[in-house]
Amino acid sequence: MRKIRELLQNFRDRLAHYDALPQLVVLGLLSGILTGFLMVLFRLAIELPLTYWLGHPDSFESLPQSQLFWWPLTGSLILIGIYFRWPALARQTGMVNMFERLAYHQGTIPGRSLIMQFVTATTALVSGHSVGREGPAIFLGAACSSLLGQRMRLPNNSIRLLIGCGTAAAISAAFNTPLAGVIFAMEVVLLEYTLIGFTPVIVAAVAADLVMRSTLGYENAFQVPSFEIGTLAEVPWIIALGVTVGLCSAFFNRLMIKTIAFTQWPVASRFLLAGVLTGIVATFYPQVMGVGYDTISESFQGNIEFTLLFGLLIAKLILTPIILGLGIPAGLIGPTLFIGALIGSIFGEVGSWFTDASMSHIGLYAMLGMGAMMGAVLNAPLAALVALLELTGNPNIIFPGMITIVISNLTVRFLFHMPSIFISSLQAQGLDYSQEPLAQVLSRAAVASLMDREFIATEPKTLPETAQQVLALKPRWLLLQNPNEKALSVMLPKNLSEYLSREAPTEAINLLEIPAERFDIIEVSYRATLYEALKKMDELHINVVCVVSNQGDIMGMLTRSKIEYYYTHKQAL
């Protein structure tokens, strides 16, 4: 047992360094496996009851007309009961909360939040609310990976990367799109592309995909025909599609942010309103209920008539951001794919009215709209393009897909000056997720990677001979501490050496009184990142902190100059 503890401590110590690639790969593998099994449970929790009641997880259209209204309302009532039972956990779920935990809590997510997200998202999806399962899946993957790091007492820089691994693993398992999961994790969550960061995230995505394939089998999220652009003359129409999707994305974001203002209402009022609105809309358009993957597949085939396409678009575009803004605890990625596919289908249909048979199939435009809407709402153009390629398995989609995704993102970013919906939601709460280069670089390593371990603890009152013996050991720091008591101060050995050579004392000396530069004992956990240590130094106007273990024992000293040297020489990694 002792050997295992020593190996684990060595594992932790190595992870404090940014370049601990073998250890990070092990973490990525563990994260991917755990997240993969969690995603299996999440999918079964949603699909088994829906298959039992409806015959198919997406067949809400098969419900009798009289039940369409009551299903989402019943789900809202159950959610109200859950939220009244655990009110403190109501604000600790969802991707916005995940970003908050990353930005302000070093990525630590409580285990209760994972359970709360699992139960509430399952309830919302099974009851047919107009939401998606991908957002909750990402939170579950991030929370599972964060808990792994917390249980192993890993440094905070590793927990941050573990959340990226969990995100990639969740998307990989949800869509069978491992590469899109990797890009999403780096582009949206970690906000950086680094060679060392990529490797464990890739391992996590592949591991989760393998778990999903080996348990539930491999099945494409959508039934996708192989289409390609008919003629370059369609490029202006494709550009127009990108602009339209960008406008709809901006409307989606604005409406959701406006609705978030109503979170001051009691939870019962908000959830009842969400249930009533969903029930009313579902009475006319039952396709808006649930994730709607079957409707997306139908749009790819061109099997939805134009009036229904238009009605579904208006219903979904207005209903979903309101439902999410009112606090229904589920995701928005699936609905954005749904809305984008409808917009693209409408463009494909309208385009066919004015062109000859050389016009591309309506399904191609549905695919393009789907990718463009995802990229614009999430502000993740590369992740959207890769997801589009993986979901369709069609390399011919890359050229027109790049055009629509870039145009839709330009429309949202530079015409409406809107960031991603997650960042907008954080800003609506007075929070921020932007990371300056200094924070990014210093968050990649923990304080244990730079701390000076060469210190000697000595009593403040000591004999000159004892002081000479201490100096002969050539420590970098002297820790002034009475036996079995807390440390009092820290000083540099050279100050003591200068005093002894200058004064040549013959009696006991008090190291707390001799002329010297002494530093107060300011503690930081060995799990803290370099950025956390630098923030504490800036807040307290100090240049030295003491790194302590979980038991409160001092492990080493860290100076501001070492952090600055690290930033200067490591920011290119």
Q: What is the CA radius of gyration of the chain?
A: 28
Share of the chain above pLDDT 70, in %: 97
Identify the pLDDT of residue 572: 44
Q: Residue 176: what pLDDT?
A: 84
Handedness of CA 157, 158, 163, 164 (dihedral sign): positive
Q: pLDDT tens for residues 356-405?
A: 656 778 888 999 999 999 999 999 999 999 998 888 877 888 999 999 99
Residues of the chain with CATH 3.10.580.10: 448-570
Q: What is the pLDDT of residues 167-218, one digit of tens each?
A: 999 999 988 889 999 999 998 888 887 778 889 999 999 999 999 999 988 7
> How much is the pLDDT for 55?
85
Q: How far apart are the C-alpha atoms of 469 and 377, rounded to whole Å?
A: 66
**Helix, strand, or coil here: 233?**
helix
pLDDT band at 434 (very low <50, low <70, confident <90, very high): low
pLDDT of residue 324 exceeding 90: yes
Residue 252: band (very low, low, confident or very high) from pLDDT cuts 50, 70, 90: very high
Query: Given CA atoms 442, 447, 452, 457 in this order, what sign does their dihedral have?
Result: positive
- Give the whole-angstrom CA distance, residue 259 versus residue 282: 20
Helix runs in 152-219, H state only: 156-175, 178-184, 195-216
- Does the pLDDT of residue 512 top 80, yes or no? yes
Distance between CA atoms of residues 89 and 83, nearest Å = 8
Name which of 246, 236, 239 is nearest 411 in CA terms: 246
When pLDDT is averaged across residues 267-291 and rounded to a whole number, the result is 94
Q: Which fold has domain 448-570?
A: CBS-domain (3.10.580)
Q: pLDDT (tens digit, 9 = 90+) per residue, 30-71?
A: 999 999 999 999 999 999 999 999 888 888 988 888 899 999
- CB count within 10 Å of CB 85 equals 8
CATH of 2-221, one of 3.10.450.350, 1.10.760.10, 1.10.3080.10, 3.30.43.10: 1.10.3080.10
Q: What are phi and psi of 152, to 5 degrees?
A: -85, 0
Number of H helices, E strands in the chain: 24, 9
Half-sphere exposure of 230 (CA within 13 A, CB side): 18
pLDDT band, very low/low/confident/very high, at 570 (cuts 50, 70, 90): low
Hey, what amino acid is at 529? T
Residue 230 has pLDDT above 80, yes or no: no
Distance CA 86, CA 145 (A): 23
Quick one: pLDDT at residue 357? 59
CA dist., res. 332 & res. 132, Å (int): 5
Average pLDDT score over the chain: 89
The CATH number assigned to the domain with range 232-428 reads: 1.10.3080.10
Selected residue with higher pLDDT from 440 and 455: 455
Q: Which of 44-48, 93-97, 246-250, 278-282 has the lowest mean pLDDT?
A: 93-97
Q: pLDDT confidence of 573, banded at 50, 70, 90?
A: very low
Rounded Cα gap, residues 480 and 521, in angstroms: 10
pLDDT digits (tens, 9 = 90+) for 520-547: 889 999 999 999 999 999 999 899 999 9
Cα-based distances in Å from 75 to 127, 150, 259, 263, 276: 5, 33, 20, 19, 11
**pLDDT for 128-150, tens place per residue?**
999 999 899 999 999 999 999 99
- Is the pLDDT at 571 greater than 60, yes or no? no
Looking at the DSSP bridge assignments, the partners of residue 529 are 446
> Residue 90 — pLDDT band, cuts 50, 70, 90?
low
442 contacts 475 by C-beta, under 8 angstroms: no
